[in-house]
Amino acid sequence: MGKVINLVLTVVVIVFGVLFRDSLESYYKKIRNTFVPHNNKGKNVYTLEELAQYNGQDQSEVYLALMGTIFDVTKGTKHYGKGSSYHYFVGKDGSRAFITGNFKDEGQDKDHILDLTCDELMVLLNWKKTFKEKYKQVGYLIGRYFNLEGKPTEYNRQFSERIENCKVQKAIEQKEKSKYPPCNISWSADEGSRVWCTTSSGGITRSWTGVPRQLYSPGAEKPRCVCVNVTTDDSTAGMFKEYENCPKTATSCVIDA
């Protein structure tokens, strides 16, 4: 009789385990996440699996990662809760989608950003700044940006280096823009396209007006219209081209009809 009872109990335990396996696993993970610290030398680090639990269901808190840095966005549930606009970002690092808008990307490169343009990378930095201002930073995601100790990876270093290069590039572009401000541009059915210069065209306020010229920049697919100060610059130099049928000293040119 004792053997029969033991057999029955064994079967019951096995059946119970099979039927309620998912519930037991979820319960175990909650207990583990509650009592097992993620601290590593003072830095909270999370695996992908651990971060995925903070979805407002398995864990009551709602976390997301942006370029490897994890934020608690629980107070923004109306934006990040299940069924909301940005729920895609919850429980993962979907940094790339902040730029592409692809909220279905579940591939391994959804946090890869080094191939983005400088302007796009700056947008991501602004997003990160916004998160730091609005939400609590809770740790780092082990993976592309941070290692097991919560220290920056080689990829993270390359990202920082890219940002510095972008800043230098931006400074050069701004300096060039100040020297050669963009033209004003308009179009009408009667006149066609017209470009012209003023003392504030391109949003650059200055003491001179300038003349419209096509500026050919290295690597650019096509020239852009800029205002050149004929008293200080040689507007006939190789990188400039005059508009056809437009007087050399004219401040306004019709470029097509």
- Please write the tens of the pLDDT for every residue from 193-241: 999 999 999 899 999 999 999 998 777 788 999 999 988 876 556 689 9
In this prediction the pTM is 0.64
Number of domains in the chain: 2
Q: Amino acid letter at 160?
A: S
Same domain, 165 and 214: no
Say whether pLDDT at 64 is over 70. Answer: yes
Does residue 25 sit within a domain?
A: no
Same domain, 142 and 93: yes
- Supply the Cα-derived Rg of the chain in whole angstroms: 29
More confident residue, 37 or 244: 244
Contact call for residues 244 and 215 (beta carbons, < 8 A): no
| Residues, the chain | 257
Residue 23's nearest CA partner among 57, 52, 61, 63 is: 57
Mean pLDDT value across residues 4-12: 55
What are 254's strand-pairing partners? 194
Same domain, 150 and 243: no
Token pair in block for residue 209: 């007006």
Same domain, 74 and 107: yes
Token pair in block for residue 220: 């650019």
Token pair in block for residue 172: 């050069």
Backbone CA torsion sign across 37, 42, 47, 49: positive
Does residue 8 sit within a domain?
A: no
Angle between helices 21-35 and 2-19 (to 10 degrees): 70
| Of the residues 139, 170, 201, the one at which a domain ends | 170
Q: Which range marks the domain in which residue 69 is found? A: 37-170
Residue 191: the pLDDT is: 81
Mean pLDDT value across residues 29-51: 64
33/138 Cα distance (integer angstroms): 14
Say whether pLDDT at 56 is over 60. Answer: yes
Residue 206: the pLDDT is: 93
Token pair in block for residue 132: 């730091």
